[in-house]
Amino acid sequence: MGLLHPDRLFPADPSTREIARRLYDDVRGLPLISPHGHTDPSWYALDEAFPDPSTLLVKPDHYVFRMLYSQGVRLEELGIPRKDGGAVEKDTRKIWRLLAKHWRLFRGTPTRLWFEQSLSDIFGIEERLSPENADKLYDLIADKLASPQLRPRALFERFKIEAISTTDAALDDLRYHDMVRASGWKGKVVPAYRPDSVIDPEFDGFQANLDKLSEISGEDARTWKGYLAAHRKRRAYFIERGATSSDHGHLTARTANLSAAECEKLFTKVVAGQENAEEADLFRGQMLTEMAKMSVDDGLVLQIHPGSFRNHNAGLYEAFGRDMGADIPTRTDYVRALKPLLDAVGNEPNLTVILFTLDETSYSRELAPLAGHYPCLKLGPAWWFFDAPEGMRRFRELTTETAGFYNTVGFNDDTRAYLSIPARHDMARRCDCAYLARLVAEHRLDEDEAREVAHDLAYRLAKQAYNL
């Protein structure tokens, strides 16, 4: 049988399962479009061998280490670097053994499916990780990682990745993207404009970031006019290097559409560091609208993924910094929050806004009706907590009746773990085929229609929405 069952995630009913198999067979080999990821562009630029199993599969993946932390494993034991340079585990074999010791914690989770599919498909491993085989599997993986066939570019081609977008700070010089372009390699790796560090007044180092923005843009980013001009220049810099989207991770979905005088007044407080929490949130909301206005002009797809109480664990944030697996979903109001932005540009034909959520209670009540009306709005169906099989199924069930399939954008893998990209796409394709098979079995779709929809969800919609 192997490590994973060939019918995993398909319906239990035999006749419906047969339909799902047929649909899946048509899409399983399609190229991968990865429009919203967090892979490191230096991997593709330098094309060096990945160092070891733990550095590749454990340390960069917050899905893995947040579960271990929840059961008492200290991040230092996993080799996660501390901000103060304090001692952490350096022996990557010990880290791997620690993962093996706790592998039972991942039973029933999508992380286990991704991880084990990566072990099976890439390394030919067909036995489950355990304390007894941990060293053997570590050595097998480490040996294969040294081969040219498992370098980043070779894997890119093996995975059939047609295009991948990294997520890059507004202040990034994009030198690794330039190196990829200059190398002559044909893999399509493009940046995405992520300006949170120069839009969020509560972001660490915000004031210094404004000065850096001025320096690299040649504009005075401490004046409202110069600040907007600096963003336009940086966006153009990213677009020259292939960017097709911007990316915004705010605490709320709040937008604003203030007058020019009100913007000037608010910005004066922000650059002086005198804003309160309400004014900081108002400024973030105004800047989402400003980014949408710029998107009308330059064509960047605007991605908004609000509703995450980021860095909830203050102790971990202080010791290790951002993105340590302590981002917790909060309730999000999209209908009222987005209205200022939509009033300003919601009917513009050149605008695409893709909405993500960590608040699935909003699927049918808010997001599907919004995307089912405004031409500029599309739904990103998977991000973090909802890229699990149950979340994928609920997404389709709660949004299709109002928004249909074609006001969504297919699958976003949103991964920092490079080797799991094919497994995540495979999971999405299986889940979508399972859902479509049910519609066919219930005589709500003909199978030829379901086959076309499966292809669109697996490939065409993401490619089209992100202009890739």
Q: Please, where in the chain does CATH 3.20.20.140 lie?
A: 14-48+152-465
The pLDDT tens digits of the residues spanning 41-50 come to: 999 999 999 9
Residue 384 has pLDDT above 70, yes or no: no
The model's confidence at residue 1, banded by pLDDT at 50, 70 and 90, is low
- Identify the CATH assignment for 49-150 out of 1.10.3720.10, 1.10.630.10, 1.10.2020.10, 2.30.110.10: 1.10.2020.10
Q: For the chain, where do the domains classified as CATH 1.10.2020.10 start and end? A: 49-150
What is the model's pTM? Answer: 0.94
Beta strands in 18-160 (DSSP E): 32-34
Q: Are strands 245-248 and 308-309 parallel, antiparallel or unpaired?
A: unpaired
By three-state DSSP, how is residue 170 classified? coil
190 three-state secondary structure? strand
Specify the pLDDT at position 330.
Answer: 87
Record the tokens describing residue 75, joined without a space: 């991040």
Q: Which two tokens stand for residue 8?
A: 């995993």
pLDDT digits 0-9 by tens, 307-363: 888 889 999 889 998 888 888 888 899 999 999 999 999 999 999 999 998 888 899
Question: Taking a C-beta distance cutoff of 8 angstroms, is the pair 21, 431 a contact?
Answer: no
pLDDT digits (tens, 9 = 90+) for 427-447: 999 999 999 999 999 999 999
Q: What are phi and psi of 17, to 5 degrees?
A: -60, -40
* Alpha carbon distances (Å) from 270 to 183, 202, 281, 288, 372: 42, 10, 11, 16, 36
Which option is the CATH number for 14-48+152-465: 3.30.1130.10, 3.20.20.140, 3.40.640.10, 3.40.50.970?
Answer: 3.20.20.140
Residue 358 tokens, joined: 């960590």
pLDDT confidence tier of residue 383, bands split at 50, 70 and 90: low
